[in-house]
């Protein structure tokens, strides 16, 4: 085991029996050969399940809509990217030359995808129990933050309520671009408040998710927590 690998194992709190799984999880599709796309697909489902399971136990009085919003706030790309940065994951990513030159190891979407892939790799290497222990340890400090009442409302609702309370125009959402294959599209949407001359862009795997991401980013621009 290299010292670099040992540091990552220590940060994650997990040591792989099959290091090739971790290597695949850290390999972006820009590099030829095996990459982390399939692991990312699996990891997305696993983390959604594990966080949903934990919230179900932690929040016995929350209804389905509240639980869904709480889960979304915890598994969204920004949260996963923040976690990846805490693990210094960009330092370990295997990227093609184009992504290296463009600073792909700092890109939130790439970091978030790698986190999902690592979750799948741990599941395949050690099983669901080992994966659950890791994920819940990583999220321990975030569960308390997510229980705040404001988190129970989705970003679009929070933004609309804030603007209405200040007597500003309601936001409008404008699709900026749609890229990728039909089964794996990425939407970029702008959230615009004309009366404030403010806007923010968000992205997601559906128009709805991109709008929510854009609304969340505009709330941050406006300093609304």
Residue 2's pLDDT is what?
66
Quick one: 1 exposed, middle or buried, by C-beta within 10 A (0-12, 13-18, 19+)?
exposed
Comparing 201 with 224, the larger pLDDT belongs to 201
197 is catalytic: no
Residue 28 has pLDDT above 60, yes or no: yes
Fold type of domain 155-221: Double Stranded RNA Binding Domain (3.30.160)
Comparing 198 with 96, the larger pLDDT belongs to 198
Once rounded to an integer, what is the mean pLDDT over residues 100-115? 84
Residue 102's pLDDT is what?
74
Residue 32 has pLDDT above 90, yes or no: no
Exactly one of 99, 116, 154, 213 is catalytic; which is it?
116
Separation CA 150–CA 179 (nearest Å): 32
Q: Where are the domains of the chain?
A: 3-148, 155-221
40-63 per-position pLDDT tens digit: 999 999 999 999 999 999 888 777
CATH architecture observed for domain 3-148: Orthogonal Bundle (1.10)
Binned at pLDDT 50, 70 and 90, residue 126 comes out as very high
Residue 36 has pLDDT above 90, yes or no: yes
Q: What is the mean pLDDT of the chain?
A: 89
Residue 152 has pLDDT above 60, yes or no: no
Exactly one of 40, 44, 99, 211 is catalytic; which is it?
44
Residue 52's pLDDT is what?
95
Query: Where are the strands (E) in 155-206, listed by range?
Result: 172-179, 186-193, 198-204
Tokens of 50: 């594990």
181 is catalytic: no
HSE-up of 102 (CA within 13 Å, CB side)? 10
Binned at pLDDT 50, 70 and 90, residue 193 comes out as very high
Residue 202 has pLDDT above 90, yes or no: yes
């Amino acid at each position: 085991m290299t010292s670099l690998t040992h540091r990552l194992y220590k940060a994650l709190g997990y040591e792989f029996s099959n290091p090739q799984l971790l290597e695949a999880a850290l390999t972006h599709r820009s590099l030829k050969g095996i990459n982390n796309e399939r692991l990312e697909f699996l990891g997305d489902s696993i983390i959604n399940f594990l966080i949903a399971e934990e919230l179900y136990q932690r929040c016995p009085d929350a209804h389905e809509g509240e639980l869904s919003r709480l889960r979304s706030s915890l598994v969204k790309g920004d949260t996963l990217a923040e976690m990846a940065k805490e693990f210094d994951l960009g330092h370990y990513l295997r990227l093609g030359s184009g992504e290296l030159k463009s600073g792909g190891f700092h890109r939130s979407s790439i970091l978030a995808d790698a986190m999902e892939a690592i979750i799948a790799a741990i599941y395949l290497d050690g099983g669901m129990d080992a994966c659950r222990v890791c994920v819940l340890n990583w999220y321990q400090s975030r569960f308390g933050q997510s229980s705040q009442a404001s988190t129970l409302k989705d970003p679009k609702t929070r933004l609309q309520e804030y603007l209405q309370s200040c007597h500003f125009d309601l936001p409008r959402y404008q699709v900026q671009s749609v890229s990728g294959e039909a089964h794996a599209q990425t939407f970029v949407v702008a959230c615009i408040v004309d009366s404030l001359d403010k806007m923010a862009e968000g992205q997601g795997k559906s128009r709805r998710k991109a709008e929510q991401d854009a609304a969340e980013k505009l709330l941050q621009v406006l300093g609304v927590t």
